[in-house]
Structure 1
């Protein structure tokens, strides 16, 4: 397990920014993250800041999370250098085999690997169909799979909306009890168990969230099934597929 000074610097800078904005970050269940050895964190994905917030939560256990991120981000001059220096792992949308091998090596070296198994931001804010990579990494390495839920991060910076500098936004981060692979469990079964767990945790995060919409125009960040104006799950999935089609990426 290696430490990255650049990673620490970036986390300090981002934490300072959140403090400047008065962001009210609540981290629950940080003790579920192992202090030593490899593990997989599987998080929902609702904003561009989710990487930073999961990394912030892992600081409580003095861990650095190596995220699997889009390869295109590594090809940009500034972000690419930062991501490589922080030890993150590039993922090619068209071929994930190379990233999977890198992730296995990192896990074998005692690292924590962060995965967004929905692959892209959920426009309904609900849990989408999960890709099997997180479960496969857990099963093949016999490693704990830690479910993670973020809520409120989408109010700061998310898809199809301008970033907000509104002060005092609440952000909830929940790390769940690790899912340990069962002897008779395959990747599909563990993926299903992970999704069901994440759905329960998301409901908990929404139920206990301290903020409410200011008016009807501010109901965009509340899920459709909770009375908000976000797209329902089916509409959100269609919007996600259309966004992937525009960039020529596979949607399955």
Structure 2
């Protein structure tokens, strides 16, 4: 079936990136398979992460179908675009339909994008990974492709205003080698291995990031363990519980 929506959206995104003068450093795209199914797994620190994850797949001429919360598909603007790009709506109260949809897509040779933390990490550190990505890869017989993004939180993230000005922001993207998901292994063990790999890629992206906070008012986007003023995971958990 012809892709009528995805290519124009990609073109619009590239135009915006140029207008914002983003400095995108992407390495490891060759680890994304040129054909066949795969589950692309990324950390989640920004509302725009799916765009940059998808960008990493373009050198391999692949379009990623992302699993996203169902409310995005009900929005009058984003809804038609999400459906046109064949992304997969997820109703968290009834996840079976989304799982079956993703599994069928994988078996037909698609790449499915998953954020196993489920929500944006306000501490900008890795949260606990849910096992759905590993179970999908196991059942479909496809590899998991770990990824990490850094810098996207400076554009638009939870609890902070959007920065859509011509800001020259660096965005660092790292794609790792495939993580196999054998059917005879426990999904939890595969998930732990996957999270460890994403953590390694995240640390590599942070080391490669070319700028540091400019002053006391610019430390919000750095995690506490790196000297920033983002809340710690414990603080985020306490705030959510309260």
Bin the TM-score by the shorter chain: over 0.9
State the shift of 1:93 in Å: 1.6
For 1:112, the equivalent position in structure 2 comes to 111
Instruction: Give the alignment's TM-score, normalised by structure 2.
Output: 0.96
State the shift of 1:195 in Å: 0.9
State the shift of 1:56 in Å: 1.1
Where does structure 2 lack aligned partners over 5 or more consecutive residues? none
Matches for 1:83-98 after TM superposition, within 5 Å: 83-98=82-97
Of 48-57 and 174-183, more deviation after overlay is shown by: 174-183
Instruction: Give the alignment's TM-score, normalised by structure 1.
Output: 0.92
Please say if residues 73 and 80 of structure 2, whose CA atoms lie closer than 8 Å, have aligned partners that are also in contact: yes
Please say if residues 45 and 121 of structure 2, whose CA atoms lie closer than 8 Å, have aligned partners that are also in contact: yes
The residue matched to 1:57 in structure 2 has which SS?
Answer: helix
For 1:63, the equivalent position in structure 2 comes to 62
State the shift of 1:98 in Å: 0.6
CA offsets 1:178-202 (integer angstroms, 9 cap, x no match): 0012464211011111111111111
Please say if residues 41 and 145 of structure 1, whose CA atoms lie closer than 8 Å, have aligned partners that are also in contact: yes
What is the count of residue pairs matched by the alignment? 241
Please say if residues 139 and 183 of structure 2, whose CA atoms lie closer than 8 Å, have aligned partners that are also in contact: no
For 1:27, the equivalent position in structure 2 comes to 26
Matches for 1:1-252 after TM superposition, within 5 Å: 4-164=3-163, 165-182=165-182, 184-240=184-240
Please say if residues 122 and 240 of structure 1, whose CA atoms lie closer than 8 Å, have aligned partners that are also in contact: no
The residue matched to 1:121 in structure 2 has which SS?
Answer: coil
Cα distance between partner residues in 1 of 2:79 and 2:59: 27
Please say if residues 123 and 239 of structure 1, whose CA atoms lie closer than 8 Å, have aligned partners that are also in contact: no
State the shift of 1:236 in Å: 2.3
State the shift of 1:60 in Å: 0.8
Please say if residues 181 and 190 of structure 2, whose CA atoms lie closer than 8 Å, have aligned partners that are also in contact: yes
State the shift of 1:224 in Å: 0.4
Cα distance between partner residues in 1 of 2:6 and 2:240: 30
Cα distance between partner residues in 1 of 2:2 and 2:224: 42
Cα gap change, 1:28/1:7 in structure 2, threshold over 3 Å: closer, same or farther?
A: same
State the shift of 1:3 in Å: 5.1
Where does structure 1 lack aligned partners over 5 or more consecutive residues? 243-252
